[in-house]
Amino acid sequence: MTDLAVEVRGLTKRYGSVTAVDGIDLAIPVGSRFGLLGPNGSGKTTLVRMLLGLVYATSGTVSVLGEPMPKRAAAVLPRVGALVEGPAAYPHLSGRKNLRLLDAAGPGGRRAGRTERVDAALATAGLDVGRRKVKAYSLGMRQRLGLAAALLHAPDLLLLDEPTNGLDPSGIRELRELLVRLNEAGTTVVLSSHLLSEVEALCTEVALLDHGRIVYAGDLAELRPLTGRVLVGTTEPAAAQAVLGTAVVEVTASSLVVADADVADVNARLVHAGVPVTSLAAERQTLEDVVTGLAPGDGR
């Protein structure tokens, strides 16, 4: 059994004179929460479509769950859930009926357990609309229906392209929590997004795409280097500032920032002085700063 959910080598896709994906290599481990990050037009959606066998590569190889794609699509796709660019549905039918049809067309078309599978997928996606037809759904509801479709057969791999489109803040938080739960239960999650905050909040590994090329791939923490500053949460910021002196560069009502400091040393000094500490962490450079600093061509 392979330890990689996705592996691509030298993958390229050209549309005439336009190169959408340009000779990329990528390995996504089984069980990871992996982010494909890049601006619109960077090649993310084309890459996801090639992983699903919806777009054929101009050159290079694609392996999903240990099988070559698209050659072994019939064996691979029943184990993959996907939400890619505005999920399609029959507008004159309800969401439930759409899922029943999708389930019937799924692996083996098994009737047994269909109602339970559809109910579970709708509940997991947080969609409860009764018999309302899809044409009356909001964008967020359509997105949830697409997610329910992706979850219908308990996939080993979940590929999501801009899944928060149309969701309100509470819906985005619920989706993130759901994806974490699914991942903890064994599902590999691959999230494609142009939103830095979305990838940063969910993913532990990331690939940054720029003009069809990968400019960085690896651990998210390694991508975000330490700044040398320490973030301190405390109910007594004035007392903490008195202890730490001129090293404190920022103060709020419940926190402060200490420059050129060591976490353990800051903690020891505050505890020794009897100052309550509610949180303590070494500051890392934000993902936005990192991405901004990666000019086109860097790391290629």
Are 211 and 235 members of one domain?
no
Task: Indicate which CATH number applies to the domain containing 250.
Answer: 3.30.70
The upper half-sphere exposure of residue 194, i.e. CA atoms within 13 Å in the direction of its Cβ, equals 9
> Is 298 within the bounds of a domain?
no
> Is 291 within the bounds of a domain?
no
> Is 123 within the bounds of a domain?
no
User: Are 101 and 111 in contact, with CB atoms under 8 Å apart?
Assistant: no
> Is 121 within the bounds of a domain?
no
What does DSSP assign to residue 94? Answer: B
> Is 94 within the bounds of a domain?
no
Strands 33-37 and 205-210: parallel
User: Are 267 and 280 in contact, with CB atoms under 8 Å apart?
Assistant: yes
Domain range for 62 is: 4-89+138-223
Are 154 and 214 members of one domain?
yes
Sheet of strand 33-37, all strands in order from the earlier edge strand to the far edge:
80-84, 157-161, 188-193, 33-37, 205-210, 213-219
Q: How many folded domains does the chain comprise?
A: 2
> Is 165 within the bounds of a domain?
yes
CB contact set of 17 (below 8 Å; sequence gap of 6+): none
Residue appearing with tokens 């494909």: 36
CB contact set of 162 (below 8 Å; sequence gap of 6+): 85, 192, 193, 194
What does DSSP assign to residue 156? Answer: S
pTM surpassing 0.75? yes
Class of residue 277 by CB neighbours under 10 A (exposed 0-12, middle 13-18, buried 19+): middle
Would you state the pLDDT for residue 288? 67
> Is 151 within the bounds of a domain?
yes
Are 182 and 274 members of one domain?
no
> Is 124 within the bounds of a domain?
no
Are 205 and 259 members of one domain?
no
Question: Of the candidates 204, 223, 242, which is a domain's last residue?
Answer: 223
Would you state the pLDDT for residue 60? 97
Are 195 and 247 members of one domain?
no
Q: Mind listing the pLDDT tens digit of every residue in the chain (300 residues)?
A: 579 999 999 999 999 999 999 999 999 999 999 999 888 888 999 999 999 999 999 999 999 999 999 999 999 999 999 998 777 899 999 999 999 999 888 765 678 889 999 999 999 888 888 889 999 998 888 889 999 999 998 899 999 998 888 788 888 888 899 999 999 999 999 999 888 888 888 998 999 998 899 988 988 777 777 889 999 999 999 999 999 999 999 999 999 999 999 999 999 999 999 999 999 999 887 766 776 666 454 433
Would you state the pLDDT for residue 219? 86
Are 148 and 58 members of one domain?
yes
Q: Does the N-terminal peptide bond of residue 70 adopt cis geometry, omega within 30 degrees of 0?
A: yes
